[in-house]
Amino acid sequence: MAVMKKLSHLLKILLFLVPFILSACATTDIYRDPNMDFGAIQTIAVMPFLNLTRDNIAGERVRDVFINKLLSTGAVYVLPIGEVARGIARADIQNPAAPSQEEVVRLSGLIKVQAVVTGVVKEYGEVRSGTTSGNTISMSLQMVEGTIGKVVWTASTTKGGISIWDRLLGGGGRPMNDTTDKAVNDLINKLFK
């Protein structure tokens, strides 16, 4: 009975603190050019994502999920990966994950897109804390307008990790594909705000 009383008291404290914790974690992780007409963008090229993780194919996985989710919105047409790769070769872009302003303009003209999206996957995979583990992803994207090479939108997100419930109850976190879906959906929602 005493254990139940302590757990009840702990739960009340946690529920009281949640709004303060969430408000402390809120950040502005989005930039949107107020002068850009995003409705004019009909075709987008998604460049290979820079992968800063230990997982060698994390960038490819996340890029694929992003492309599919973006296509499923029906808002824009995303150029197939093969056409983007051919355009990168024809434009002689040395670092496709971080093209220069001039390279974006040249590529956009060659493959006929209004915007180019680049991205960075900073974290991808399992994190541990003591005996508890969970999957996490952290990534940033930016959209560059194709005719002048200006960045018109950037956003970042971090999803997953080890929750307080995982620590208290010994959970293993969400599967990596669910965590990736949440992160990509968050970025797409930030794009279409």
pLDDT in tens, 184-193: 999 999 998 8
**Residue 4 has what pLDDT?**
54
> And the tokens for 3?
């254990």
DSSP 141: E
**Residue 162 has what pLDDT?**
72
Report domain extents, the chain: 29-191
Taking only the tens place, the pLDDT of each residue in 71-130 is 999 999 999 999 999 999 999 999 999 999 999 999 999 999 999 999 999 999 888 777
Asked if residue 8 has pLDDT above 60, the reply is: no
Quote the pTM value.
0.81
State how far Cα 156 lies from the chain centre.
6
**Residue 193 has what pLDDT?**
80
Asked if residue 20 has pLDDT above 80, the reply is: no
Contact in structure between 46 and 78 (CB atoms under 8 Å): yes
Convert 91-127 to b/e letters by CB count within 10 Å (16 or more is b). bebeebbebeeebbbbbbeebebbbbbbbbbbbbeee
**Residue 168 has what pLDDT?**
63
Say which residue, 3 or 47, is predicted with more confidence: 47
Q: How many CB atoms are closer than 10 A to CB 173?
A: 20
Say which residue, 8 or 164, is predicted with more confidence: 164
Average pLDDT of the chain is 86
State how far Cα 192 lies from the chain centre.
14
**Residue 142 has what pLDDT?**
98
- pLDDT average, residue stretch 3-29: 48
The structural architecture, per CATH, of the domain 29-191 is 3-Layer(aba) Sandwich (3.40)
**Residue 79 has what pLDDT?**
97
Taking only the tens place, the pLDDT of each residue in 142-185 is 999 999 999 999 999 999 877 666 666 666 667 889 999 999 99
